[in-house]
Amino acid sequence: MSKVGQAPTGPPPPQGYVAAAQPGYGQYGQPGYGQPVMGQPGYGQPGAHAGHAVHGQQVILGQPGMPMAHPAPVVWMPMPAGIPGCPQGLEYLAQIDQILVKQKIDMFEMFTGWEQKNKYKLLNSVGQQVYSAKEESGACERQCCQSNRGFTMHITDNADKEVIRLEREFRCWKDSCWFACCSCCAHLIKVEAPVGTTVGYVKQKCSPFPPKFAILDDDKDEVLSIEGPCCIIPCTDVEFKVISPKNGAEVGKVTKQWSGMARELFTDADNFGISFPMDLDVKMKATMLGACFLIDFMYFETNSNDNHHHF
């Protein structure tokens, strides 16, 4: 047995112990060898964050035994009470005036360029998840037609119940502002809530410049209109203004949010923010979700290897 102050004898220290020069541990051959020193750097304090320190243990990044950091659990918006006359599942929309649509990055698509079915999280202003959205479409159309492809978007609540369905038919013409004057060529999306009950439409308007859309009710009467920018300024948010056709006042926005250079160049996973009047009919709020997805597919759904956005 070695004495204090003398070089240690015997077998080397067990694997997993920190070297003598590492702060926070008693040195080999000294009192307290192999034990963390209270109050020293590296000694975990109560309440320390995972991945940095754990109470009573030294945590050094890269060392064996480091605790694993777990992703934060999904926090869902509380289920609201039923509202008379409100389609079941749209009660959430009655309580919010904005929503964030975040597309999930698909790593296989990012590395191969093979277009996958899009998936999204829909969040409220405090980060609680309101809905999930998942695309259903044909593989051939996704690879060959990309932004023009037809699809069904299933929007589900926190009980995984489909509360909104979006239907879009294939269109031959990309960014067809001129061809939108012909109804059969205009891009259109139908909104159902609940499934099987049409509550509105989003239709591309005849407008060569800038792009415009109409938010229609179930009778195809125009309730709101959307006007896009004349051009896109790189590295900034892109705003599509929501306008009341009665007085021309701006009442909301659909905003394509700039996500950073790496994400914009190497993926087509986009983030959108939607704002609308709090007292707007929930059916029209659901229809504005349809407008957001239509805008995303028409102008921002490009191959990740050729990710240029234009009008």
* Residue 296 CB neighbours (<10 A): 21
Domain with CATH 2.40.160.200 in the chain: 91-300
**Positions in the chain whose pLDDT score sits under 50:** 2-5, 16-29, 33-62, 304-311
pTM, 2 dp: 0.73
pLDDT at 20: 42
pLDDT at 300: 87
- Tokens of residue 187, six digits: 């891009």
- Calculate the CA 200 to chain-centre distance: 24
**Rounded Cα distance, 301 and 304, in Å:** 9
pLDDT at 125: 94
**Rounded Cα distance, 293 and 191, in Å:** 11
- Asked if residues 175 and 300 have their Cβ atoms less than 8 Å apart, the reply is no
Cis (ω within 30 of 0) for the bond into 194? Answer: yes
Helices (H) and strands (E) in the chain, counts: 4, 12
- Asked if residues 123 and 131 have their Cβ atoms less than 8 Å apart, the reply is no
Fold of 91-300: Porin (2.40.160)
Cis (ω within 30 of 0) for the bond into 87? Answer: no
Residue with tokens 């369905």: 165
3-state secondary structure of 139: helix
Give per-residue pLDDT as tens, 61-119: 445 555 555 667 889 999 888 899 999 999 999 999 999 999 998 888 888 888 889 99
**Rounded Cα distance, 270 and 84, in Å:** 35
